[in-house]
Structure 1
Amino acid sequence: MQRSHKRVLVTGGAGFLGSHLCEALLARGHEVLCVDNFFTGSRLNVTHLLSDPRFEVMRHDITFPLFVEVDEIYNLACPASPVHYQHDPVQTTKTSIHGAINMLGLAKRLKAPILQASTSEVYGDPEVHPQTEDYWGRVNPIGPRSCYDEGKRCAETLFFDYNRQHGVNIKVARIFNTYGPRMHPNDGRVVSNFVVQALRGEPITVYGSGKQTRSFCYVSDLIEGLIRLMESPADVTGPINLGNPREFTIRELAELAIRYTGSASEIVLRPLPQDDPRQRRPDIARARELLGWEPTVELEAGLKRTIAYFRNAMADADAGEPSRGLRAAT
């Protein structure tokens, strides 16, 4: 009989998404082993969890094998923003591919279910809108974003091959733009960029015309989707889109950031980076049907919470106090 309280491994557990996932799993009564090499994650993201005896942190790079005993594995380890994954593109590819092989090998040995945090970037600059899970994507295999895009695509291949060849119980989530507290302020992601620039009174840098679109999912909604996918029946392998289907232009997001911060910042346009997608919006019909999941936090509410977090973090930094949001990764 399956235990209700499990020992759960979260790779990348000290990152933005990983720390929120660790928190949610602990709240459900599980033991959590947080594994991170602290390249983009930070110990400060999980400091508040260290007093819980069911929580453990291990410094480890998943491009090397890991030998632990757990009941479930969430594989979130990988730099997820262009600034970070382009810093060392070879290591990014290794993390996606070697890391997947190592974690899948662990899942195979333990006969444990394993969830892969894949990405909407597997769709590239899509010709289909909104994006459904059966769309194969339009990805440049040799561009500056390819280390992440193709690394995640190859990781998905490995997951499904381990499922077909070895019977590993897999779950693949394709994560769309997610935001909220504990985002790294200098990761180049559009929400953190706009909020930090607005709070500092700096110009809001919009790349391209600002007419390109994105869909923004608040972190608590995304974490609920990941847990529901992990807890779904074994025949629900995915891939499953997890994201908010409400679509905004980048300029609209910039204007909201200015409005909700009360900033006097102006919007300035910069050239669009190579291979930057023009449109991105998930079709979440499969998540609704198989997981009973859909987002509940609207962008306006989530953005206000995120602004409050960064405002407090910046005040702490100005006062010389430790801040999860505005310190470099350890």
Structure 2
Amino acid sequence: MTKTVLVTGSRGLVGRRLCASLRNDGFSVKELDLLGQGASHGDVTRLANIDAAIQGCAGVVHLAAVSRVVWGQRDPKLCWRTNVTGLQNLVHAALAQSSRPWILFSSSREVYGQVPSLPVAETTALNPLNVYARSKAEGERLVLEARSLGLQTAVVRLSNVYGCTKDHGDRVIPAFCRAAVEGLPLRVEGSNHTFDFTHVNDVVRGLRALIGLLESGEQSLPPVHLVSGHPTSLGELAAICCRLAKSDAAIAEAAPRSYDVARFYGDPAGARELLGWESAISLEAGLMRLIQDFRHELALHSAAEASV
């Protein structure tokens, strides 16, 4: 019998690739996203939408969220309502099913805050510094608490996922790659700020491995990173993008935002031991793919304008 998986946030960067991967492997996939159409259009803050979508599902991958720190700072109430109330709705709906689905919750490296030492292991204490991070830490607490109520759950912590031109244009990697291709200034807010960038295709492989463990009946999965384990500063990232694009675009340094974590890179050992997973796409290879994709899109756009 074909198993059905619900993916919330299915129109996002990770959601689109994950839905395609699941379907390629024979799963039936239900989608729920504000950007969806028809049955796939829905709001996780509306319990009725979750109740309708979860029917008949063997599992749920919960990606839907106010997914950026800056958005959470601009509208804290919306961030909390989406990220926490939405998850509460999902847990409530899952508990109400006769055959309870597993839940895989997508958390963030933001939950650690500013750590005293690097790289960061999954056992590092949580110390969220902003609204978005606090909402994700609370989400982790809710998911772990749901285990005591009979749900099979897992938590994955992601860090700076990239790899598609359809991603939010103000995220750092798509912003840098597009600017380098167009020859526009790359604005670097905190050139020494250092992060762990992971290609979306690698992340989807890791999620599929976690889904496999949930499908096999694993009951006590620990939180796990899907990270490259390689630190790159924003200044270095901007320089790499310009070099790969053969661009003479200016790099404009600006002050960092007060609510951002300044340094993070994760220890991938847990994912290697638990899932047999490690990132396979190097940062330079992933950036080169994205730069080429932006060039292709811009060329098509220019051709379309010329034909008018």
TM-score, structure 1 as length reference: 0.84
Larger helix proportion of the pair: 2
1:16 and 2:5 matched: no
**Structure 2 residue corresponding to 1:250, chosen from 206, 210, 234:** 234
- 2-structure distance, mates of 1:177, 1:231: 24
**Structure 2 residue corresponding to 1:222, chosen from 176, 182, 203:** 203
Equivalent position SS for 1:293 = coil
What amino acid does structure 1 have at the position aligned with 2:207?
L
**Structure 2 residue corresponding to 1:124, chosen from 91, 109, 113:** 113
- 2-structure distance, mates of 1:319, 1:280: 41
1:28 and 2:11 matched: no
- 1-structure distance, mates of 2:72, 2:302: 29
**Structure 2 residue corresponding to 1:298, chosen from 275, 282, 285:** 282
- 2-structure distance, mates of 1:318, 1:237: 49
Task: Report 1:1-330 matches (<5 A).
Answer: 3=1, 5-38=2-35, 57-65=39-47, 66-67=50-51, 68-110=55-97, 111-140=100-129, 146-164=130-148, 166-186=149-169, 188-208=170-190, 210-232=191-213, 233-319=217-303
Distance change in 2, residues 1:91/1:318 (3 Å): farther
What amino acid does structure 1 have at the position aligned with 2:30?
L
- 1-structure distance, mates of 2:248, 2:39: 42
1:49 alignment partner in structure 2: none
Report deviation, 1:106.
2.4
- 1-structure distance, mates of 2:207, 2:134: 22
CA contact (8 A) 1:90 1:147 kept: no
1:47 alignment partner in structure 2: none
Distance change in 2, residues 1:299/1:57 (3 Å): farther
1:44-63 alpha-carbon deviations (Å, 9 max, x no partner):
xxxxxxxxxxxx85111101
1:204-234 alpha-carbon deviations (Å, 9 max, x no partner):
11112x1221111111100111111122152
Equivalent position SS for 2:56 = coil
CA contact (8 A) 1:11 1:35 kept: yes
TM-score, structure 2 as length reference: 0.90
1:180-203 alpha-carbon deviations (Å, 9 max, x no partner):
0144252x3211111111122111
- 2-structure distance, mates of 1:123, 1:319: 46
Q: Can you give the 5+ residue segments of structure 2 that lack an aligned partner in the other structure?
A: none
Q: Which moved more, 1:218-227 or 1:305-314?
A: 305-314
RMSD: 1.9
